């Protein structure tokens, strides 16, 4: 496994960036796994000490928060490994009913938002979808589209089997790592991407590849790219901290700046409601289009005030997360003490009932009370 420490922002190539968090122990959720002996034994080929380091940094020029210590997914892990350490219970077959039920809610919410924003598919759609998950949303949204014109790439075999059972024939595995165009002769009217930019090792290359795959007036519909500025306000905390399979931690400002770099424009819709089985809060949802103008020196949103607000947002959240982590440990310790005390009480009552308490005290060298 190879870790690469980059010296420039992966978006704008600026060298002017700062480390976001002082204490790296809290800037990733794989710190726990780096100290888990059972996982070390299960995955002996992985260097968990390298894997657990992200060194999240913020670019002063385009305000992108990114992992300065980057790992190429294709060299680092399989999706089975990801599902294992991240406890993704949906990576199984048959797909759990509770997972399907949640995606029915997502589908209804997704379609309602599109309708509110007067979004409709192209008259003769040819669709590529990266990560449909179980395919419930795809079924509902594309119910009137010829399945021969729908191309899907998905991470987990369980979801691929589910999709094929529902009549989708053009379904392929989406391997770890940045998407590689295997549809060289095809142009798509719509490309749907679910949480792809956040994980990307080279996000500008990824989005340029997808933009090149669009036909005239084609569009990219993106969803579940977390707006961390809004998510940080919620002060919600995942016990292990930031998911450090993420290479970028976007906000609306930094995503807009990122798209300016590749001569694209973005229209934001309202965020999707989060699923109970996922930690995607404040997931950005919208449409990306090619910009007719090519700008070699894009004008980024990066005022002193914007920059300070964004960096403070992350650092304030991290301070709250430290308190949350300490309280969580304290609660676990109290629970253990309470459990041990309760066990002792139960054992004492058993010995009293059996008339063995005094004999037990003598054997253990405990003096009786007078």
Q: pLDDT of 333-359, one tens digit each?
A: 888 888 888 888 888 788 777 777 666
| Confidence at residue 87, expressed as pLDDT on a 0 to 100 scale | 72
The side-by-side arrangement of strands in the sheet containing 264-268 is 171-173, 150-154, 127-130, 188-194, 214-226, 283-290, 264-268
- 96 vs 164: CA distance, rounded Å: 16
Question: CA torsion sign, 173 to 174 to 175 to 181?
Answer: positive
- The pLDDT tens digits of the residues spanning 239-279 come to 667 777 889 999 999 999 999 999 999 999 999 988 765 55
| Confidence at residue 26, expressed as pLDDT on a 0 to 100 scale | 55
Please answer whether residues 15 and 7 qualify as being in contact, where contact means their C-beta atoms are separated by less than 8 angstroms: yes
- 162 vs 100: CA distance, rounded Å: 11
Per the document, the length of the chain is: 370
Mean pLDDT by 10 residues, the chain (370 residues): 84 95 65 68 76 86 94 72 75 86 93 97 97 94 97 92 94 88 91 94 94 96 95 79 84 97 96 72 92 85 97 91 84 85 83 70 51
Please answer whether residues 51 and 34 qualify as being in contact, where contact means their C-beta atoms are separated by less than 8 angstroms: yes
Q: Which CATH superfamily is domain 87-319 in?
A: Vaccinia Virus protein VP39 (3.40.50.150)
Which parts of the chain fold into alpha helices (H)?
Answer: 37-42, 48-51, 73-76, 79-85, 97-116, 136-141, 157-165, 203-212, 228-233, 252-261, 304-354, 357-363
Q: Where are the chain's structural domains?
A: 3-84, 87-319
The separation between CA 16 and the C-alpha centre of its own chain, rounded to angstroms, equals: 26
- Give percent of the chain above pLDDT 70: 88
| Confidence at residue 242, expressed as pLDDT on a 0 to 100 scale | 79
- The pLDDT tens digits of the residues spanning 145-181 come to 999 999 999 998 889 999 999 999 999 999 888 888 8
The tokens describing 223, both together, are 């969803």
């Amino acid at each position: 496994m190879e870790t690469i420490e980059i010296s420039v922002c992966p978006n704008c190539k600026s060298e002017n960036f700062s480390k976001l968090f002082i204490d790296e122990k809290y800037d990733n959720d794989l710190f726990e796994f780096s100290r888990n002996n059972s996982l070390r034994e299960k995955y002996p080929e992985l260097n968990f000490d390298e894997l657990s380091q992200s060194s999240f940094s913020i670019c002063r020029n385009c305000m992108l928060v990114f992992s300065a210590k980057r790992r190429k997914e294709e060299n680092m892990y399989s999706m089975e490994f990801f599902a294992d350490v991240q406890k993704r219970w949906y990576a199984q077959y048959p797909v759990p009913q509770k997972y399907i039920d949640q995606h029915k809610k997502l589908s209804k919410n997704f379609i309602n938002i599109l309708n509110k924003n007067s979004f409709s598919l192209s008259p003769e759609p040819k669709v590529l979808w990266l990560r449909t998950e179980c395919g419930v949303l795809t079924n509902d949204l594309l119910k009137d589209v010829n399945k021969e014109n729908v191309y899907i790439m998905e991470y987990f075999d369980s979801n691929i089997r589910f999709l094929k059972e529902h009549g989708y024939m053009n379904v392929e595995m989406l391997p770890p790592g940045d998407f590689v165009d295997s549809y060289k002769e095809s142009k798509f009217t719509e490309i749907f991407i679910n949480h792809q930019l956040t994980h990307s090792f080279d996000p500008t290359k990824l989005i340029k590849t997808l933009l090149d795959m669009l036909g005239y007036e084609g569009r990219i519909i993106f969803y579940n790219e977390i707006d961390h500025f809004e998510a940080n306000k919620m002060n919600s905390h995942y016990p292990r901290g930031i998911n450090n399979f993420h290479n970028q931690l976007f906000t609306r400002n930094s995503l807009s700046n990122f798209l300016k770099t590749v001569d694209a424009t973005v229209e934001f819709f309202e965020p999707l409601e989060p699923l109970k089985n996922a930690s995607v809060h404040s997931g950005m949802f919208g449409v990306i289009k090619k910009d007719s103008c090519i700008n070699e020196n894009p004008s980024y949103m990066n005022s002193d005030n914007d920059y300070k607000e964004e960096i403070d947002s992350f650092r304030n959240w991290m301070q709250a997360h430290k308190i949350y982590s300490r309280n969580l440990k304290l609660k676990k310790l109290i629970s253990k003490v309470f459990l041990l005390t309760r066990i002792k009480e139960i054992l004492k009552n058993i010995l009293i009932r059996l008339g063995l308490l005094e004999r037990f005290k003598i054997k253990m060298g405990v003096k009786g009370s007078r």
